[in-house]
Structure 1
Amino acid sequence: MATTITRVRVHDGRQLTEHTAVRLIGDRIDAVGGPELLRAGDQHVDGCGGTLLPGLIDAHVHLLPGAPRQGLAFGVTTVLDMFSKPDTVRQAVAQGAGPDAAEVRSSGIGATAPGGHPSMMYAPFPYVTGPQDAEAFVAERLAEGAHHLKVFYDDSTNGGPMPMPSLDLPTVAALVSAAHRAGLLVVAHATTAQAAVDLLSTGVDVLAHVPFDPVTEAHARAISAAGVAVIATLSVADGFPGDGDEMPLLAEPELARRLGPAWSGVLQRQAQRWLPPQLPDFTAPAANVGLLHDAGVPILAGTDAPNPGTVHGASVHRELQRLVAAGLTPEEALAAATARTAEVFGLADRGRIRPGLRADLVLVDGRPDHDITDTQRVAAVWKHGIRADLDTYIGSADEQAGLAALRAQTDKVIAAVRDLLPGITRE
């Protein structure tokens, strides 16, 4: 049966169009136009003047059990995983193949040095000790079904309270070469401006995280000239309480309503966890996004969920707000979570509203191309042309499994941090 959605403002992933209706047949968009698309026998959905968007894409997550279902409830139809263990990936990919969960594209295990980030959370897993390991490591990821490769690099100036081992540049370059020969895009974890610039010579395709220290105009020009995209992950700032000690996600009524009591409780407890005396300053990352964007660097929306303060699906909407605050227009922010990310990651079948593409759509009340917070007002979601039930995740076995996995990961990290920093007495 065909489904025709009428009386909508159609934003095609790049801009608002003149169209007011979209017709779906099976898992594809059949036509885009006006009221003439509605035919006898079609399932008719009256959009009531809302805005129809392509399904949202979160360009940077780490999987929990059930995360694809949670993401879909917030309008996220595709997630790009940037490091998860094979069993978790297999379960998520299988779940995401159906209409009631976001599709998953994963790196599987990322390439990092022995004891390097993110060992605290995920060890044991295979490490990369030098360039000689590159071919075998990439082959193993391909065998596990990886869609892209994740590598971890920190420059020597990135000390911090817990410095960790890092891959060196020759090893990253060998990994990039092996991945490119295998047809894989390479996403590189880097947190400083110097690390980001260092990596350009290795041929990486995407930087995961905008640098946390100031980027210069020369840095921005170099990243732009290299054709490298940047996943902003400004949402990590939501890991710290705002005014009144409330976590930022809980201060958004539409998002808080969809979180449900269990995840709201997690965020409330995270607000009370141990925090360093000097909290991180997120002024520089936001300024860096604006500078990089102005230099022509493609900015992608990614949340790094489930870091403290972030939740799968919900945090994409906060990321969009932060991108706009950093200098992107609302339409540019929408592209960062739809068309732009699809283009960078070679997802040619999604990210736009066009005939022949996948019928992954989100209907929101309001005009998010004018007020980006309107993306939070999710009215309906279609995945593979099937309208999703947005209320089945809360209280489900998937929710319970995700919460238990997050608890286990948190306990593991806390134990490791206490070993290194004995002064920490609570979470």
Structure 2
Amino acid sequence: MDRTHVDGVMLPGLTDHHVHAALIEPERMLAAGVTTVVDLGWAPDDIWPLADRSRHDPKLPHIRAAGPFLTTPGGYPTRQEWAPPGIALEVDDPASAAQAVESLVAHHPVTIKVALNSEAGPVVDDVTLDAIVRTAAGHGIPVTAHTQGPGQVHRAHRAGVRVLAHTPWTEELDDKLIAELASDTTIISTIDIHGWGEPTRDRTVALRNLHRFHSFGGVVHYGTDFGNGPLPPGVDVGEISALTEAGLHPTDILRAITEKPLGMGAAADVSAVPGDPTANPAVLGRAITVLKAG
């Protein structure tokens, strides 16, 4: 049996809950302690083969993919310069929405990603959004929404969306909606994309929303939108700092970034850090992977 000596603290594998794996070098993420990444939207010809390969390639992290976005014709992200052909399925009524979800089921998506970005173009209407959520729920698949623009978080929650791909930043949510979200919705943080540590209006709004969401008991997942912006592979210390600024205790940050606890006899992902993350969560930025699916 091979033995590895690690001078540090062993943790369950680390997860980045929002990446775009085709824009990064996922092998470097694994070497830097991130054993699982959740790809929240990419062209199917690229992402499905990559996710399949990650199941047996020891050099890749686990890649859990949503597949293409669902959006309305001409909606985000179809008009973005960075968007490759096929990145989104365009739906304009409940029937086409249900058909689009059904077409993804065979690929075992980790979630269905819907774009509700009214600042970048049109968005699906309420009945179409309802059909997306209802059809996905029939297969036991959660729906994740990119919410951007006034009222889009409220629309998503009313329809039954239970994961937000980003901390809301385009408007400061009222306490009633924050409390409702905290009762049944997970927010993926992605605070650092707003200025990369520099103060911006969007960062301030996002921090306020996440602070109140967390104070109401909401579940926060660490995510970076990796592939967007100047991040080195691995854990983004800027995101860890933002979570601290939003009021998360170091143990809360560990819950946000680690996979489920290790179990007897189960395949294990193990990361290690050179220090105590409950005292200084910034050491997560120096993580290494010890074991993937061991």
Tell me the TM-score normalized by structure 1: 0.63
Native 8 Å contact 1:209 1:232 kept in 2: yes
- TM-aligned CA deviation for residue 379 of structure 1: 4.6
Sort the Cα spacing of 1:194 and 1:304 in 2 relative to 1 into closer, same or farther, 3 A. same
Native 8 Å contact 2:157 2:181 kept in 1: yes
Q: Deviations over 1:215-255 (max 9, x none)?
A: 22212112123x11111111212557x59xxxxxxxxxxxx
Equivalent of 1:363 in 267, 272, 282? 272
Q: 1:104 is aligned with what amino acid? A: I
> Counterpart of 1:190 in 2: which secondary structure?
strand
> Counterpart of 2:112 in 1: which secondary structure?
strand
> Counterpart of 1:223 in 2: which secondary structure?
helix
> Counterpart of 1:362 in 2: which secondary structure?
strand
Equivalent of 1:127 in 70, 78, 90? 90
How many residues matched?
Answer: 288
In the alignment, the residues of structure 2 paired with residue 371 and residue 66 of structure 1 have an alpha-carbon distance, to the nearest angstrom, of 27
Moved more, 229-238 or 192-201: 192-201
- TM-aligned CA deviation for residue 192 of structure 1: 4.8
Confirm whether residue 299 of structure 1 aligns to residue 188 of structure 2: no
1:169 is matched with 126
> Counterpart of 2:217 in 1: which secondary structure?
coil
1:313 is matched with 234
> Counterpart of 2:71 in 1: which secondary structure?
coil
2:282 is matched with 373
In the alignment, the residues of structure 1 paired with residue 177 and residue 162 of structure 2 have an alpha-carbon distance, to the nearest angstrom, of 16
Equivalent of 1:353 in 250, 257, 262? 262
Note the 1:67-78 alignment, pairs <5 A: 67-78=25-36
Note the 1:77-226 alignment, pairs <5 A: 77-97=35-55, 98-119=57-78, 120=80, 121-122=82-83, 124-125=85-86, 126-154=89-117, 159=119, 163-192=120-149, 194-212=151-169, 213-225=171-183
- TM-aligned CA deviation for residue 314 of structure 1: 3.9
> Counterpart of 1:111 in 2: which secondary structure?
strand
Sort the Cα spacing of 1:65 and 1:200 in 2 relative to 1 into closer, same or farther, 3 A. closer
Tell me the TM-score normalized by structure 2: 0.90
Moved more, 376-385 or 129-138: 376-385
Sort the Cα spacing of 1:123 and 1:164 in 2 relative to 1 into closer, same or farther, 3 A. farther
- TM-aligned CA deviation for residue 312 of structure 1: 4.5
> Counterpart of 1:324 in 2: which secondary structure?
helix
Moved more, 167-176 or 93-102: 93-102
Structure 1: any 5+ residue segments left out of the alignment? 2-42, 244-278, 340-350, 386-427
In the alignment, the residues of structure 2 paired with residue 200 and residue 54 of structure 1 have an alpha-carbon distance, to the nearest angstrom, of 31
Q: Percent identity?
A: 30
Equivalent of 1:325 in 228, 235, 245? 245
Q: 1:195 is aligned with what amino acid? A: Q
In the alignment, the residues of structure 1 paired with residue 176 and residue 149 of structure 2 have an alpha-carbon distance, to the nearest angstrom, of 14
Sort the Cα spacing of 1:115 and 1:311 in 2 relative to 1 into closer, same or farther, 3 A. farther
Confirm whether residue 234 of structure 1 aligns to residue 191 of structure 2: yes
Note the 1:204-283 alignment, pairs <5 A: 204-212=161-169, 213-225=171-183, 227-239=184-196, 242=198, 280-283=201-204
Q: 2:274 is aligned with what amino acid? A: D
Native 8 Å contact 2:22 2:46 kept in 1: yes
Native 8 Å contact 2:12 2:271 kept in 1: yes
Native 8 Å contact 1:200 1:223 kept in 2: yes
Q: 2:112 is aligned with what amino acid? A: L
> Counterpart of 1:172 in 2: which secondary structure?
helix
Q: 2:83 is aligned with what amino acid? A: Y
Structure 2: any 5+ residue segments left out of the alignment? none
Native 8 Å contact 2:16 2:222 kept in 1: yes
- TM-aligned CA deviation for residue 322 of structure 1: 1.4
Native 8 Å contact 2:94 2:131 kept in 1: yes
> Counterpart of 2:70 in 1: which secondary structure?
coil
2:4 is matched with 45
- TM-aligned CA deviation for residue 65 of structure 1: 6.0
In the alignment, the residues of structure 2 paired with residue 193 and residue 78 of structure 1 have an alpha-carbon distance, to the nearest angstrom, of 32
In the alignment, the residues of structure 1 paired with residue 216 and residue 275 of structure 2 have an alpha-carbon distance, to the nearest angstrom, of 31
Native 8 Å contact 1:233 1:319 kept in 2: yes
- TM-aligned CA deviation for residue 123 of structure 1: 5.1
In the alignment, the residues of structure 2 paired with residue 107 and residue 311 of structure 1 have an alpha-carbon distance, to the nearest angstrom, of 23
